Structure 1
Amino acid sequence: MAIQLSLPIKLNDAATFENFLVAQGDSRQLLLTLLRDQWPYGKEPIVYLWGNRGSGVSHLLQASCHAASDRGLSVQYLPLSAMLEYPPTDLLDELEQLPLVCLDDIQLAAGRRDWEEALFGLLNRMRDTGSCLLVGGNVTPRELPLMLPDLQSRLGWGPVFQLETPGDALREQVVQFRAMRRGMTLDDGVARFLVNRAARDLHGLMDCLDQLESRSLQDKRRLSIPFVKQVFGW
């Protein structure tokens, strides 16, 4: 289970490996294999994922937490977008005792010396304890505008993976896949209509799917283009 902190952190229940669509031959299969096989014995002390919003970085960080927790390991997910107002030394103290720590939005710590120094200290302590760190950012470690060169170097010690932002075709596949996982049928035409009209990122699409699932159950209607138009006023 996760360490108990009085922080506004909650893992997304849907952010699991099973809910992450990887087609046959997709280059991301290597990354998924690495992350799935990490636990309970960390094969890589640090893994760095980067990509734009909606690329799946946060999803895979949280999926790793779910998978490790399901195996009885203590984990901690820390999205820096919600953490920067807290003293970093208090947040990161003793996290090296956990088998897995996931730090999201690492780019937000760049240029903040207190955070950079605290992160550098955590990385050193985790190396000593043999714990594993999974880091998510929107650029490569080399492109982070960090004040501490040693922190930049350490963040790039392990494998670095880029996650491409999915195009329309893949977004259609993802929304159909996630609908199927919820027991709903979303045919190609409806999926294409939804992708063309909804928010461009996957987060927005999943929010739309939540609403469609709720209304479909409430109204006992199948997912069709007229029904989607009615729900969203399109």
Structure 2
Amino acid sequence: MSTGSPIQLSLSVKLSDEATFRNFFSGPNQLAVRAVQTLADPQSNPGDGALYLWGASGSGRSHLLQAACHRMDEAGGVAMYLPLANMIEYGPALFEGMEEVDLLCLDELDAVVGHADWQEALFHLYNRLRERGGRLLLAADSAPRSMALELADLTSRLGWGLVLQMQALDDQGKQEVLKLRAEGRGLQLTDEVARYMLNRGARGMGELFAALEKLDQASLQAQHRLTIPFVKRIMNW
């Protein structure tokens, strides 16, 4: 794969089919969801054209960035999703030409901390996008001024657009997310079984989704609905 072809590289980052707005439980993050939906709608006026989301792991940032790409693609636009933690090895030349897309979604922005060359490249990309009227959606663990970036101009630039904090879900929210994801898979997940999964397994959303994936496959093979005894046996709890 050529590092000189950002379009080709970006296409290798496959979006999750399940990462859609329909599958996202807004909970305490309704404002952020509406802001992302506006940014992903080519017919809307997103104001500055930049949106920065930050918050704890598992708050749904990556889901929203991928959902935005799906929405822009469906509208006939060109969108890119890049998880930067997986891209550092390719070098900051990766950003060349990316201002040509309609929506650029950069996830895991914290990965550029300690990489002055990446920060400078991102600074110039931001300016090119702004001049062209493109849209930029960013996600990180912390707010711009808390990232300890070496390039002060980039810190300032990242704060120009709308900056929103994503709130982590409580147990009730996680339960609703599990039920929504199960419904999308054609599974019936009762409140009782969802609570059991939360109480017995790992509590991170990634781990919960992985457990649901395993249970989905086992349920199909065994032609068995999701009950507590069935979940306990399959998950070895």
Q: TM-score, normalised by structure 2?
A: 0.92
Which residue number corresponds to residue 131 of structure 1?
134
Q: Does 1:223 align with 2:220?
A: no
The Cα offsets for residues 108-162 of structure 1, whole Å up to 9 and x where unpaired, read as: 1012111001101101111111101000000001101101111001111111111
Q: How far apart are residue 6 of structure 1 and its match?
A: 7.0
Q: What are the within-5 Å matches in structure 2 for residues 54-93 of structure 1?
A: 54-89=58-93, 91-93=94-96
1: CA distance between counterparts of 2:198 and 2:160? 38
Q: Does 1:205 align with 2:208?
A: yes
Structure that is richer in helix per residue: 2
Q: Is the 8 A contact 1:190 1:225 kept in 2?
A: yes
Q: Is the 8 A contact 1:68 1:75 kept in 2?
A: yes
Q: Is the 8 A contact 2:10 2:80 kept in 1?
A: no
Q: TM-score, normalised by structure 1?
A: 0.93
* Matched residue SS, 2:167: coil
The Cα offsets for residues 68-111 of structure 1, whole Å up to 9 and x where unpaired, read as: 0111111111101110111112x100100111100011111012
2: CA distance between counterparts of 1:33 and 1:169? 21
Which residue number corresponds to residue 103 of structure 1?
106
2: CA distance between counterparts of 1:8 and 1:100? 17
Q: How far apart are residue 22 of structure 1 and its match?
A: 2.3
Structure 1: which 5+ residue stretches go unaligned? none
Which residue identity does 2:222 align to in structure 1?
Answer: D
Q: What are the within-5 Å matches in structure 2 for residues 1-234 of structure 1?
A: 3-5=7-9, 8-23=12-27, 26=28, 28-38=29-39, 39-41=41-43, 42-44=45-47, 45-89=49-93, 91-234=94-237
Q: Compare 8-17 and 76-85 and name the one that shifted more.
A: 8-17
Q: How far apart are residue 184 of structure 1 and its match?
A: 1.4
Q: How far apart are residue 199 of structure 1 and its match?
A: 1.9
In structure 2, relative to structure 1, the CA distance for the partners of 1:8 and 1:198 (3 Å cut) is: farther
Q: How far apart are residue 37 of structure 1 and its match?
A: 2.4
Which residue identity does 1:204 align to in structure 2?
Answer: E
Moved over 6 A (4+): none
Percent of residue pairs identical: 45
Which residue identity does 2:50 align to in structure 1?
Answer: I
